[in-house]
Amino acid sequence: MRRALACAALCLFSCAHLGKGEPCPPPIIRYVSLPAVYDFALNRSRDALKVKKALDAKNARFRELEKALEGSTRDDAALREEYRILKKEIEDLNEKSRVHKHRILSRIDRAVKSVAAKTNADFIFNIGDQLLYARREYDVTEDVIKECMRIDERSAPEAR
């Protein structure tokens, strides 16, 4: 919240000085729900969803193995080997997940910038913990989702 207020104050202060005393229009501020946009984009990516589901399943099995190994009084080589293999598979899936997350966040970033340009927004805030209140009319989440869809359509193999 402090950052948001500081940014708005800086914009107003700098505008008054840069405009040499001329009235400065108020900044155009919008907000977006990045978690909603990210979930939307993740659910549109079959590969990313496949990795997420596999990672969730492997992590669940990993937790089971940890409990079994903690409670075991005997040395179970088979469990330890499965644990080792599973740990490596989880590391590989985590790396794939990071790659997918980077791609999704890059598309969201392009979409947010595009919506900002179309709406002449000076600031777009995430509705998360940085924003305490905003009127619904300033929410650009749907616009960002639509722009993500347009970006996906333009980059789809059929569009080339």
Secondary structure class of 77 (helix, strand, coil): helix
- Asked whether the CA dihedral 19, 20, 24, 30 is positive or negative, the reply is positive
The lowest-confidence range among 16-30, 63-77, 99-113 is: 16-30
Ranges of each domain in the chain: 2-159
pTM: predicted TM-score of the whole model, two decimal places: 0.71
Evaluate if residue 14 carries a pLDDT over 50: no
Asked if 143 contacts 118 with a C-beta cutoff of 8 angstroms, the reply is yes
pLDDT of residue 5: 47
Q: Determine the length of the chain.
A: 160
**2-159: which CATH architecture?**
2-Layer Sandwich (3.30)
